[in-house]
Chains A and B, each alone.
Chain A
Amino acid sequence: MPPSSPAVEVSGLVKDFGPVPSLDGKMIRVLDGVSLRADKGRVTALLGANGAGKTTTLECAQGLQKASGGTVRLLGEDPWRAGADLRSRVGIMLQEGGLPPAVRPLPLLRHIAGMYSAPRDVDDLATRLGLHSFARTTVRRLSGGQKQRLALACALVGNPEVLFLDEPSAGLDPQSRNIVFELINELRTEGLAIILTTHLLDDAQRLADYVYIIDQGQTVRQGTVAELTAHASDAARELKFEASARLPLPTARLPHLEVIECAPGQYQVSGALTPKDLAVLASWWAEEGILPSSISLTSRSLEDVFLDISGRSIR
């Protein structure tokens, strides 16, 4: 169970940027009431489309941006006024990485480790994240996934209590992704509070204990993945099948469902599907002599939840 005092607590967070010259010097409100909390021993995910305000929320919580309104508490303190001791308890992986291009991975990691009085063992961490395989390459020549792993190592080397990860799986190949996800799960077990942003539903579904959906600068929905996906009726499902292209669609027979050909030969039936609807579809296939090459039925996903809320796709 999470302890009573949260690692990160944000309530009614407002952030204005500007004045913006192209808008006659007006301010832009990027965050308009974001509230969330993150506890130790849990992975908390901020999910949202690009530009929804995920990174700005993180930056306010990290003390990289000053909140225009609302309150932000990081380990019980105001992050904007964070001193070295508060920063030493927090590990941050920025979206752009911010790694200096001219250095090699291990000297950089050792340099960062030197900022802490009791850092993790640099070699262990490097082995764990596979940094030795590209130890002789300067940062500017690393691949996206290699940079990402190095940035994660830098965020972890100080043994933080709170770990912020902005888009941790960006640029990772499936193998690196597994390494990183395994490590995140392990760190959760060690009791770290992990806060990550993602626009990938898979990430949230695989990693998060608790999800906040952010849309247009507001937290619009929150809950565990199970809570969020169970919220709507179980009837909400989706059926996909593949067959030859440009078939006449049986829309008249299934008036309460949406039937579309989303790509040539790829069909999608969505809505409150009932067993009867499946029989109707099957008899239509029989009458038309259609044998689908694949059929799949999926239950409601986080993406559906997100689409319901914002009417926009996050992928």
Chain B
Amino acid sequence: MSASPLTVRVLQHGKYETVAMLRNGEQLVLAIVLPMLALAAIAVTPFFDVLGVPRLGTGTPGVIALCVLSTAFTGQGIATGFDRRYGVLRFLSTTPLGRSGLILGKILAVGAVLALQLVVICTTAVLLGWEPPLTGVLPALLMLIPGIGAFTALGLLIAGTLRPEATLAVTNLAWVLLAAVGGTIIPRSTLPDAIEPIVAILPSAALGDGLRAALTSGTFDFLSFALLSGWAVVVGLAAVRWFKWS
């Protein structure tokens, strides 16, 4: 007649949400297949050669940024939107898991799926000849923390305020746009001058820039880190303020 400890509840819900995400075919396409296609396209086309480093050196960090968008933003946003529609959020919040446990479990699941994506993407990239500086691994992992935070918060904000059908449309469209011209795969510095200043302040560009700095030259891009953290805090607060549970 009492609750399990918080860590047990959150870990268990994290596992549950991870399994749910991995069982969902559409989410797997978004999380693994599309980033793999992007990686393959980078490896076989000469587009990235103009940037002066090996193609995969510039391209792979962008694909990693895209993985964050897939899982934390689009995948989690859509799943949460439909959970909200079906009353699943209300139902789970009546158990000892509670609202905070529910959100923590979701973040944990995003982290677990992302870890799996990174293993698949990075292994493939290395097999294709990617040679990132090992000194860049830690800065890259640090950069992922506010990146996951900002995009999870954005996904939850949309899922918690729009109808699930609208969430589906908006997060998928945003994924395509941010993948193409959001500064993830294609560095914002190579984008047309007309849109570059706008793209520069987007969290997608900050994540792309930060990961590229880490995984091409092994440096920690503090500005991108600060920008991403700012997005995470502001959107996180907005999500807390406007998220509707039912």
Flag if A118 contacts B96 (CB, 8 Å): no
Flag if A117 contacts B3 (CB, 8 Å): yes
User: Complex: how many Å from CA A87 to CA B93?
Assistant: 9
B45 at interface by CB-CB < 8 Å: no
Flag if B94 contacts A62 (CB, 8 Å): yes
Stretch at the interface among B63-71, B81-89, B181-189: B81-89
User: Complex: how many Å from CA A103 to CA B24?
Assistant: 11
Flag if A116 contacts B88 (CB, 8 Å): no
Flag if B98 contacts A98 (CB, 8 Å): no
Residue of B nearest to A118 (CB): B1
Flag if A101 contacts B86 (CB, 8 Å): yes
Question: Closest CB of chain B to A27's CB: distance in Å?
Answer: 17
User: Complex: how many Å from CA A303 to CA B4?
Assistant: 44
Q: Which A89-122 residues sit within 8 Å CB-CB of chain B?
A: 89-90, 92, 94, 96-103, 111-112, 114-118
Flag if A99 contacts B88 (CB, 8 Å): yes
Residue of A nearest to B24 (CB): A102
A222 at interface by CB-CB < 8 Å: no
Stretch at the interface among B5-13, B126-134, B167-175, B202-210: B5-13
Question: Closest CB of chain B to A19's CB: distance in Å?
Answer: 15
Contacts of A116 in B (CB 8 A): 1-4, 96
Question: Closest CB of chain B to A183's CB: distance in Å?
Answer: 18
Flag if B91 contacts A88 (CB, 8 Å): no
Flag if A84 contacts B83 (CB, 8 Å): no
A-B contact pairs, 24 of them (CB 8 A): A64-B93, A84-B6, A84-B98, A84-B101, A85-B96, A87-B3, A87-B94, A87-B96, A92-B94, A94-B87, A96-B87, A98-B87, A98-B89, A98-B92, A100-B83, A111-B13, A114-B12, A116-B3, A116-B4, A116-B96, A117-B3, A154-B91, A158-B1, A159-B1
Which 4 A/B pairs are nearest by Cβ-Cβ distance? A98-B91, A98-B87, A88-B3, A84-B3
A interface residue numbers (CB < 8 A to B):
62, 64, 83-85, 87-90, 92, 94, 96-103, 111-112, 114-118, 154, 158-161
Query: Given A84-B101, A117-B4, list of 6 further CB < 8 A pairs?
Result: A88-B2, A89-B1, A94-B87, A96-B86, A111-B16, A114-B4
